[in-house]
């Protein structure tokens, strides 16, 4: 383990990295976007349906104070986590596949911010969620052909 990867693990906070962590952990630091959320890497538990490639979790609510003092709800922060599991597609796919994954997850960020998106909620730990996730990925691929 290099000093650089140790620093990255500290940046990932309490998220653990898997021993198979290779490609994702190399040069993919945690990114923050002024209160909208973050992109990080970590171990995403799977089940008999598989191991998610990436997930977008809903974070804290975002409120904006208006000039008149009123407070407006703007949505929720998002935490995108890219799986560090070496067996997942993000660690085995092409740059195009990884771009599709990121665009898919950013669609969930739009939803969390209450912005228009064609990406629907999905949960890769249920059969219906896996199907919804595949539909979302197919939609992104259709709009962003290789």
Closest CA to 37 of 60, 55, 16, 21: 60
The answer to whether 112 contacts Zn ion (rule: CB under 5 A) is: no
Report how many residues bind Zn ion under the rule CB under 5 A: 3
Q: Which residue is nearest to Zn ion (CB)?
A: 122
Contact between residue 25 and residue 17 where contact means Cβ atoms under 8 Å apart:
yes
Which listed range, 36-44, 74-82, 93-101, 121-129, lies at the site for Zn ion (CB under 5 A)?
A: 121-129
Look up residue 73 and give its two tokens.
């709800």
CB of 131 to Zn ion, least distance (A): 11
**Angle, CA of 91, 45 and 138, to the nearest 5°:** 55
Among 43, 122, 130, 139, binds Zn ion (CB under 5 A): 122
CB of 106 to Zn ion, least distance (A): 10
Which listed range, 42-50, 70-78, 94-102, 129-137, lies at the site for Zn ion (CB under 5 A)?
A: 129-137
CB of 129 to Zn ion, least distance (A): 8
Among 22, 133, 135, 145, binds Zn ion (CB under 5 A): 133
62 vs 130, beta carbon nearer Zn ion: 130
Measured from the Cβ of residue 4, the count of other Cβ atoms closer than 10 Å reads 11
CB of 136 to Zn ion, least distance (A): 5
Q: For 30-68, what is the HEC assignment? A: CEECCCCEEEEEECCCCECCECCCEEEEEEEEEEEECCC
Measured from the Cβ of residue 60, the count of other Cβ atoms closer than 10 Å reads 10
Residues in contact with Zn ion by the rule CB under 5 A? 122, 133, 136
């Amino acid at each position: 383990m290099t000093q650089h990867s140790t620093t990255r693990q500290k940046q990932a906070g309490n998220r653990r990295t898997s021993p198979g962590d290779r490609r994702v952990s190399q040069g993919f630091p945690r990114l923050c976007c002024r209160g909208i959320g973050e992109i990080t890497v970590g171990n995403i538990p799977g089940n008999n349906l598989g191991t998610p490639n990436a997930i977008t979790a809903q974070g804290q609510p975002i409120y904006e104070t208006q000039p008149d003092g009123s407070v407006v709800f703007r949505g929720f922060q998002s935490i995108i986590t890219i799986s560090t599991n070496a067996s997942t597609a993000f660690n085995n796919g092409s740059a195009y596949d990884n771009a599709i994954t990121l665009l898919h997850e950013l669609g969930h960020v739009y939803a969390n911010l209450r912005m228009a998106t064609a990406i629907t909620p999905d949960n890769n730990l249920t059969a219906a969620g896996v199907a919804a996730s595949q539909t979302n990925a197919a939609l992104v691929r259709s709009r962003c052909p290789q």
